[in-house]
Structure 1
Amino acid sequence: MPRHILIIEAHPDGHDRHLCGALADAYAKGAANAGFTLRRLDVAKLDFPLLRSREEFENGMVPEELTAAAEVVQWAEHIVIVFPLWHGTMPALLKAFLEQVFRPGVAFQYRNRGFAKMLLTGCSARLIVTMGMPTPVYRFWFGGHGVKGLRRSILNFAAIRPVRQTFFGMVEKVDEAGRQHWLTKVEALGRRGV
């Protein structure tokens, strides 16, 4: 049975010539060839307001500009988020997008007592992260804290599990053969839908 896959390309620079865009394309190619049903969001091409208060987050509506994005998040059975590491975590534009879309009524629901009800049960995710530093330095020296925060505090909070990670480090130094190896690896992930 075809699986619903959402690819969120989250490089803040809206140009299509960066590695994140190529990785998202590679995943989409593999998934499409395997027969999965795909949707794609390019966060840099969306225009939406920032959240500025707890009241707005808890009781406000998803902005009209992101209503379709919220619907496709609820439709997805697997979400792939591709982004560059900036200051050890996701870029601010991705964080702002997630704050607007992963809110009460979409990703979870507050209850009168106890923990919130998670609304995205049955969905899994893959984080594909590019960075300038060596991957082991990010994982072991910095503890992967920025990606852990995204996984635990946003995705797992909405019941998205498992959340797998693929890191590509030293991106400015990679040659064309290395880049092609990465694209082939991501295309294979897309074919498997993981």
Structure 2
Amino acid sequence: MEHLIVYAHPNPDSFNHAILETTVRTLKQKGHEVVVRDLYKIDFQPVLKPQDTAAMKAGQTPEDIKTEQDHIAQADAITFIYPIWWTGMPAILKGYVDRVFSYGFAYAYGEQGIDKLLKGKKGLIINTHGTPKDIYDQIGMTAGLKITSDTGIFDFTGIEPVEHLLFGSVPSAGEAALKDILKQVEAKVASVF
């Protein structure tokens, strides 16, 4: 299976990076081909500009967008790994979605409504956040994050959401708790792919 991981965290020593390493290792152990697109490392430019839209309408997709679209097109599965900041995804990842999941590539409008152009792919999202999970669950934030990402991005474009892992209280978690999270990530990645 061809597996694309889109990763968005600026600190290579972050716990998100440990999640990335665990995910890559687990997938490779299962025989997957894995491509990681570390958005900060590749210095992905997240701002959708008028010239981007004009170029795509003219059938001349900018090269940086085309590169990312090629990775998505070749993937059987796509995993997003990122922290929740201000109750959402980092701006660099939001910009990636804005620019790369474009009309005509990820979705279109047809006679029956929305044409989901990325059908046949599976999607996994792994998030960390500082707020305790119980609080996010109680205020509806967990459900909100799932609907905006799983439904609003993956399902909208035809990617089948297989799981969305959210881990709270990460900055204050002790070493044992962090190790347990990595075990949960490993087990879930192994079971859904």
What TM-score, normalized to structure 1? 0.87
Partner of residue 136 from structure 2, selected from 123, 135, 138: 138
CA contact (8 A) 1:89 1:147 kept: no
CA distance, structure 2, for counterparts of residue 143 and residue 130 of structure 1: 13
Which residue of 2 is the match for residue 81 of structure 1?
80
C-alpha deviation, 1:71, in angstroms: 0.7
SS in 2 for 1:129: strand
CA contact (8 A) 2:127 2:165 kept: yes
Which residue of 1 is the match for residue 29 of structure 2?
33
CA distance, structure 2, for counterparts of residue 182 and residue 135 of structure 1: 13
SS in 1 for 2:35: strand
Which residue of 2 is the match for residue 20 of structure 1?
16
CA contact (8 A) 2:87 2:141 kept: no
Gaps of 5+ in 2: none
Shift in alpha-carbon separation, 1:96–1:62, aligned structure 2, 3 A: farther
Residue deviations 1:104-127 (CA, integer Å, cap 9, x gap): 23212333x341311111111111
Q: Which moved more, 1:134-143 or 1:83-92?
A: 134-143
Which residue of 1 is the match for residue 99 of structure 2?
100
Q: Higher relative CO (CA 8 A, sep ≥ 6), structure 1 or 2?
A: 1
CA distance, structure 2, for counterparts of residue 96 and residue 9 of structure 1: 13
Opposite residue 26 of structure 1, the aligned amino acid is T
CA distance, structure 2, for counterparts of residue 143 and residue 180 of structure 1: 25
* CA RMSD, Structure 1 to Structure 2 (Å): 2.2
CA distance, structure 1, for counterparts of residue 17 and residue 46 of structure 2: 24
Identity of aligned residues (%): 25
C-alpha deviation, 1:55, in angstroms: 8.6
Residue deviations 1:146-185 (CA, integer Å, cap 9, x gap): 3421222221110111341111110111111111111122
Which residue of 2 is the match for residue 48 of structure 1?
45
SS in 1 for 2:21: helix
SS in 2 for 1:44: coil
Gaps of 5+ in 1: none
C-alpha deviation, 1:54, in angstroms: 11
Which residue of 2 is the match for residue 10 of structure 1?
8
Which residue of 1 is the match for residue 182 of structure 2?
183
CA distance, structure 2, for counterparts of residue 143 and residue 127 of structure 1: 15
Between Structure 1 and Structure 2, how many residues are aligned?
Answer: 189
CA contact (8 A) 2:125 2:164 kept: yes
